[in-house]
Structure 1
Amino acid sequence: MYLTQPLHKSLIECPTRTATVFGERRRSYAEFVDRVARLAGALKKLGVKPGDRVAMLGLNSDRYVEYLFGVVWAGAVINPVNIRWSPREIIYSLDDCDSQILLIDDTFLAMLDPLQAGSSSLKTVIYAGDKTAPEGTLSYEDLLADAEPAEDALRKDKDLAAIMYTGGTTGKPKGVMLSHGNLFADALGSQAVAGLNFRSVTLHAAPAFHVAGTGLILQSVARLNTNVILPMFEPKAVMVAAEKEKAQDIFLVPTMLRMLMNHPDFGKHDMSSLRHFMYGASPMDSALLKRAKAAFPETGFIQAYGMTELSPTVTILTAEWHTQKGEDSGRMMSAGQPLPVAEIRIVDGNDQPVATGTRGEIVVRGPTVMQGYWNKPEQTADALRGGWMHTGDAGYMDEDGFVFVVDRIKDMIVTGGENVYSAEVEEVVLQMPQILQCAVIGVPDEDWGERVHLVVVLKDDATLTQEEVTSHCKQHIANYKVPRSLEIRDEMPMSSAGKLLKFKLREEHWGDRDRKVS
């Protein structure tokens, strides 16, 4: 399995079909493949060798799609940088996997000086914008113009294709290693269940750096679709593009869908071409789902559940179950059934399978499971113990294999579709001199699904405000990780052994809900 296979097919089957649409730029598959091959040639001239890591920091664009395929065409490994991270976090991800080349667009040029000053690995910066390349950078378009198209390296199967950084349980991000086989197996498995049309039109609004965004691009190109790319999610832009390009497929996280439907212009643009509305990253509440189904009566809703370590999808709830049948059976609120390539178990604390309907940890085995965490053998061994990927999600499975996610075993919060590990936030918060003890938890939030909530015990005579917490945290971590609410207590709930009982803090906010994730 090699990720560039669809590009070779496109040259035979549909070379004149539009491959990418970005603003006023429209490129055919023949043009797209030529640019991918030239980017690979340019990277090789810069010294990129098979297995080397190449990073990109930018908004969605046609060049971002070329980057994803051009790097693997050259035999190298993509390292898509989280655009919401602080310079400190980005530098860590570059240096951790020795990314010596970085592509950057206009939006993030202000970060370039601190990145170059702080990174020990970064050697070459390629400017992937539309203006004149800044001093000290190489022009993306000039590189392509001067390069000869390279032969496809045809890296495949177990060859490393991507390092995707995700939050760390110990305060440091982890580089998830995904192979060609991982990503291609997931694309095929997802397609087999979702039943999306070939040679359709996909609207890309979710961030490409995220594994869901990257995965959607890979899957869409595998179906030889036309890829309509928006720089970022913006409700009005989605409506305009869907109407203009007659988009058939789109992926949004529930937070984005809510923003779309709450926009004052919602209903003023013809979005009736949409046939598949995919969502994931966090569950969708029943009220929002019913409202969306009423607004898009001809559109099939499809939920995907997974994680970066699973390339990323392992279960899908098909359109069939987003119906009265799904509502009556209760399965509309499930995460769906496993892909044909994914084997799922629910296990107890000793990794032993539990009875049908019994809650435990969701574990996964199959060809989409990651190779491991970059340079983190102990965390890899723990996550993959017994040959199963331990998701850290608690759930149960019914008699027909429908998976229900009910809680998290990992100390993780999902806010607006982004993962936030409590330990990383707590490490930053504890640098504040006023704080004696702290705990970060996820609490229900109508707009974001979950909100990062900070609970603290202060030192004697100390004071603390939400504004002080926000100001301090923004200097160290991405904005979406910053606590949005603050609770000051005299003491924390502790066990007899002196362990913080964080679940008791969560119980106060989640109450008697069956599902303690949102």
Structure 2
Amino acid sequence: MKLTQALISAVQLRKDAPGTIHAGRSRSWKEIGRRVACVAGGLRRLGIEPGDRVAILAHNSDLYIEALYAIAWAGAVAVPLNTRWAVAENAYAIDDSTPKLLLVDKAFAEIASALRGAKSLTAMVYLDEGQVPDGMQGYDELVAHAPIEDASGAYNDLAGIFYTGGTTGFPKGVMLSHANIVYESLVWIYALRFREDTRYLHSAGMFHLAGTSPMIALTLVGGTHVTIPKFEPELAMKTIAEHKVDYCLFVPTMLNMMLNHPSFGTYDLSSVRDCEYGASPMPDALLVKLMRVLPSWRFHQGYGMTESAALATILPWEYHALEGPLASKRKSAGRAAPGVEIRIVDPAGNEVPRGTVGEIAIRGAGVMLGYWRKPEESARVLRNGWLHTGDGAWMDEDGFVYIVDRLKDMIVSGGENVYSGEVENAIFQHEHVKECAVIAVPDPQWGEAVHAIVVPKDGARLDSEMVIAHCRTLIAGYKCPRSVDIRLEPLPLTGSGKIMKSALREEKWQGYTRSVN
């Protein structure tokens, strides 16, 4: 099955039902289907051929949804860019994926000028309304083109390149096929109860699989996409109340921000039937409080990653029990999603006994094709048909997975993955830095925060403000250290000569448990 078949199905079965709602504007599935075929025709007129990459740098909107389907309809490959990245990071992704076309909205129109120099880019499209910036094609001009027939190719063809952080200091492009994404979308429908009358709030960025997977799933059943440009606590609550949203996805930080917002309690949130959470640790105290103050909400947890096209395990609402025999399962990440195999393995890839901590390995239809133009990285994580996640966990006798650590030194801050290698790569570019290590430290608001330990070169002047300011010129703000220790003594080393991060973390995590609930 291909991405475009989801749209074809929605048009056929729910043509007059509202497909998208954005900023007070509503469009039916019939209208969306016509616009997508026309935009695909416009992309062809701009020189886009099957297999070409088309990048998008924009906030959530109904136009973003149309554009993703139009790229697939034209037979091209979507490259959604991270709206929170620094210019240098998105420039790297563009140079790596070599798209012919870049679509940007008003929020990124100025940034686009800094990206225009990429050799592969032949045109830019303004994915927004109003005055079209100089040197760009208007999105409405694409809509005005004659429609073309679906040319999306085969189900095993590459559908998208989704960039994720790189342990070596540079982002990696995760290659997902049509089949990868559609299968994961079917999991959403079956396990997370999407229906044709579902009204889903897109609060997660659409460049995330947490945005793309439910987008395809909801289209498959002909539900209604309700979009907000980006998450803001009051905007999310207001939108839920105004449009009677009945399904949401939030990372724990978002839920915490809403719960502690002055306006919480002034908006009617009772329309919400289901809420999926994931992407970062959920403190059990926060989950219990949410369950008590929002008793009509059924909470579901999902664990996964870009490399698995999102969901690998699911903890359904039935296991979110406050007491009784199921209460202990609430602290797990759930069991394997339908059609997904989960093993906990040792470094050699052998399954370990139940209750023993090892690495999560995943096999299933959602597992990526590999990393774009990184065969060695692909071979490292894709072994004998299994995706080796680098996440440490144990499994109980009932098949529930309990995540205990992240083996790749990944920091999860506010639902965003931050790889220490990327931050260290940026810090090391400062001329006065001799050594550095980046670790996670506990943070009451974000769950985890980025912390750097830096050793300056002999005789060099360096302070925490200088390190943070330097990082802000190279990487996204959320990846920059929130705190920095400047040390004059060398960092501790392991027997093999590597920096002993476990010792550095132990100093900061005394009295805390670093786990994912």
Work out which of the residue numbers 454, 460, 472 in structure 1 matches 2:458.
Answer: 460
Structure 1 Cα separation of the partners of residues 415 and 477 of structure 2: 14
2-side partners of 1:199 and 1:165: how far apart? 32
Q: Which residue of 1 aligns with 2:85?
A: 85
The Cα shift of 1:104 comes to 0.6
Q: Match for 1:101: what amino acid?
A: L
> 1:24-43 alignment to 2 at 5 Å?
24-43=24-43
Measured after TM superposition, the shift of residue 230 of structure 1 is 0.3
Query: 166-175 vs 490-499, which deviates more?
Result: 490-499
> Is the alpha carbon distance of 1:327 and 1:63 closer, same or farther for their aligned partners in structure 2, counting shifts above 3 Å?
farther
Q: Given the superposition, is the C-alpha separation of residues 195 and 206 from structure 1 closer, same or farther in structure 2, using an over 3 Å criterion?
A: same
In the other structure, the counterpart of 2:193 is 195
RMSD over aligned CA atoms reads 1.5
Structure 2 distance, partners of 1:58, 1:514, is: 37
- TM superposition score normalised by structure 1: 0.97
Q: CA deviation at 1:491?
A: 2.8
Counterpart of 2:402 in structure 1 is 404
Shift of 1:9: 1.8
386-395 or 487-496: which moved more? 487-496
Give the aligned residue type for 1:436.
Answer: K
Pairing 1:321–2:319 present: yes
Cα distance in structure 2, aligned partners of 1:427 and 1:219 = 37
Aligned counterparts of 1:495 and 1:173: Cα–Cα separation in 2 = 27
Q: Distance in 2 between matches of 1:326 and 1:6?
A: 41
Q: How far apart in 2 are the matches of 1:5 and 1:494?
A: 54
Q: 1:313 corresponds to which letter in structure 2?
A: L
The alignment partner of 2:448 has SS state of: strand
Aligned to 1:354: 352
**1:201 and 1:225 in contact (8 A); partners too:** yes
Q: Secondary structure at the match of 1:324?
A: coil
Superposition misfits of 4+ residues, deviation over 3 angstroms: 325-329, 511-518
Q: What corresponds to 2:370 in structure 1?
A: 372
- Aligned partners of 2:363 and 2:387 also within 8 Å: yes
1:136 matched to 2:117: no
1:505 is matched with: 504
Paired AA for residue 198 in structure 1: E
The 1:357/1:513 distance shift into structure 2, 3 A limit, reads farther
TM superposition shift of 1:413: 1.0
% same residue: 46
1:443 alignment partner, one of 427, 441, 448:
441
Aligned residue number for residue 234 of structure 2: 236
Match of 1:293 in 2: 291
CA contact (8 A) 1:405 1:515 kept: no
Q: Which amino acid is the alignment partner of residue 501 of structure 1?
A: M
| Cα distance in 1 for residues equivalent to 2:47 and 2:221 | 32
Per the alignment, residue 61 of structure 1 pairs with: 61
Question: 1:302-340 CA deviation, whole Å, 9 max, x = no partner?
Answer: 111000000011101100011125786421011101012
Match among 252, 255, 260 for residue 254 of structure 1: 252
The question of whether the paired residues in 1 share the 8 Å contact of 2:394 and 2:401 is answered with yes
Give the counterpart of 2:155 among 141, 154, 157: 157
Aligned length: 516
CA contact (8 A) 1:343 1:366 kept: yes
Give 1:495's aligned residue.
Answer: 494
For 2:271, which of 242, 253, 273 is the aligned residue? 273
Residue number in structure 2 paired with 1:101: 101
Q: Closer, same or farther in 2 for the Cα pair 1:388/1:272, shift >3 Å?
A: same
Task: Output one character per residue of 1:379-431: Cα deviation in whole Å (capped at 9) or x when no partner.
Answer: 00111012210111000111111111100111211111111111111111012
Aligned residues of 1:443 and 1:509 also touching (Cα < 8 A) = yes
| AA matched with 2:237 | M
Q: CA separation in 1, counterparts of 2:41 and 2:319?
A: 47
Cα distance in 1 for partners of 2:247, 2:153 equals 29
SS across alignment from 1:330: helix
Q: 1:174 to 1:326 in 2, by over 3 A?
A: farther
Q: Report how far residue 154 of structure 1 moved.
A: 4.1
Amino acid in structure 1 at the alignment position of 2:139: Y
User: CA separation of 1:327/1:57 partners in 2, compared to 1, >3 Å: closer, same or farther?
Assistant: farther
Shift of 1:222: 1.7
Counterparts of 1:1-16 in structure 2, within 5 Å, are 1-16=1-16
CA–CA distance in structure 2, aligned partners of residues 382 and 77 of structure 1: 25
1:10 counterpart SS class: helix
- Give, as a single letter, the amino acid of the residue that structure 2 aligns with 1:492: L
Cα deviations by residue, 1:22-64 (Å, 9 ceiling, x for unpaired): 1121100111111111111111111211111111111111100
Which residue in 1 is equivalent to 2:122?
123
Equivalent pair of 1:54/1:99 in contact (CA under 8 Å): yes
Q: 2:10, 2:497 → 1: CA distance?
A: 62
In structure 2, runs of 5+ residues without a counterpart are none
Residue deviations 1:482-509, cap 9 Å, x none? 0001112323121234221111111222
Write the distance in 1 (CA, Å) between the matches of 2:227 and 2:309: 21
Q: Relative to 1, partners in 2 of residues 1:476 and 1:484: Cα closer, same or farther, differing over 3 Å?
A: same
Give 1:48's aligned amino acid. I
- Kept in 1, the 8 Å contact 2:342–2:361? The answer is yes
Equivalent positions of 1:295-314 (< 5 A) are 295-314=293-312
Given that residues 190 and 339 in structure 1 are in contact (C-alpha distance below 8 angstroms), is that contact kept between their aligned partners in structure 2? no
When residues 301 and 77 of structure 1 are mapped into structure 2, their CA distance, relative to the original with a 3 A threshold, is: same
* Structure 2 residue identity aligned to 1:293: M
Q: What are the Cα deviations for residues 176-204 of structure 1, in whole angstroms up to 9, with x where unaligned?
A: 00001101111112322222333211111
CA contact (8 A) 1:356 1:398 kept: yes
Post-superposition shift, 1:510? 2.4
Give, as a single letter, the amino acid of the residue that structure 1 aligns with 2:448: E
SS in structure 2 of the partner of residue 389 of structure 1: strand
- Which blocks of at least 5 consecutive residues in structure 1 are unaligned? none
Q: TM-score w.r.t. structure 2 length?
A: 0.97
Q: CA deviation at 1:207?
A: 0.9
Quote the Cα distance in structure 2 between the aligned partners of 1:473 and 1:447. 22
Q: Give the Å deviation of 1:156.
A: 3.6
Structure 1 residue 205, shift from structure 2 partner = 1.3
Match of 2:170 in 1: 172
